[in-house]
Amino acid sequence: MAGRAVPLGLRRDLAALVDAVPLDFGGGSSLCKALVLADLIIANDLERVLEIGVYHGRLLLPLGFLMTALERGEAVGIDPYTAAAAVQSDAHDRGVDLTAWPAQVDWEGLHSEVLAAIETHAIGERCRVVRARSDEAAADFASGSIDLLHVDGNHDAASVARDVELYLSKVSPGGFIVMDDASWSSVRPTCERLATEHELVFQLFDGGVTVDGVGGNDFAVFRISEPASRGVRR
């Protein structure tokens, strides 16, 4: 595929796909984020994308579609789809009790919906969901085998820190870690720790102020340094 960015036709396909996936209180990628990561994948010849926390699939599905169009690599999502895993007990100040909200969600239905979308878009050869918690699935991924990791599972501080602790070594040197909701007080400490050894390439926070009032952007992108240069503050 010519060029170092997503071609216009594919950009339109990705936009239509993201638009068709529900966005609700449980969260979901903006179109902007999906396109930024798609450009990152093309510009850096990335092959294997791993997402912790899939939910409706607003990021996994477009990235699976992209890998299918590129005819390389894969997009893998990890999500247990259980109320227990989605309980968040830190003070997140989201206006809703995040310890009670997960019990109201149809997790089986969500899981089936994402599997059905993978089939509908015919992207199953390069897009799959591992139904497990991130800590349970970690052993399935070899060291340096992931080119882009999206951390968007349980947002409690201990869970975010654990996800990065478990998966950092699995990201190839020169690969990327994308931290969702990087401005949250529970996510920021892990981002600050990452920034001591890895380059913060890009950060976008719009406070949820969008043209249509839907969604918003809050994420940070880190480039993972070679082991030899770790410990050097950039």
Ligand X SMILES: C[S@@+](CC[C@H](N)C(=O)[O-])C[C@H]1O[C@@H](n2cnc3c(N)ncnc32)[C@H](O)[C@@H]1O
Q: Which residues bind ligand X (CB under 6 A)?
A: 26-29, 51-56, 58-59, 78-81, 85-86, 133-134, 152-154
Cβ proximity to ligand X: between 51 and 147 the closer is 51
Angle at 145 between CA 144 and CA 146, to 5 degrees: 100
CB of 228 to ligand X, least distance (A): 31
CB of 197 to ligand X, least distance (A): 24
Distance of CA 32 to CAs 56, 105, 202, 227, Å? 17, 26, 13, 31
Cβ proximity to ligand X: between 115 and 197 the closer is 115
Cβ proximity to ligand X: between 74 and 197 the closer is 74
Those residues whose C-beta lies under 8 Å from the C-beta of residue 233, and which sit 6 or more positions away, are: 196, 197
Cβ proximity to ligand X: between 179 and 194 the closer is 179
Integer Cα distance of 173 and 147 in angstroms: 8
Element (H, E) at 129: strand 127-130
CB of 136 to ligand X, least distance (A): 8
Cβ proximity to ligand X: between 102 and 197 the closer is 102
> Running DSSP on this structure, what letter comes out for residue 122?
T
- Tell me the DSSP string of 182-202: TTSTTTHHHHHHHHTTSEEEE
Which amino acid is present at 29? Answer: S
Cβ proximity to ligand X: between 69 and 138 the closer is 138
| Tokens matching residue 176 | 């990327």
CB of 2 to ligand X, least distance (A): 29
> Running DSSP on this structure, what letter comes out for residue 75?
E
CB of 220 to ligand X, least distance (A): 14
CB of 232 to ligand X, least distance (A): 31
Integer Cα distance of 41 and 178 in angstroms: 12
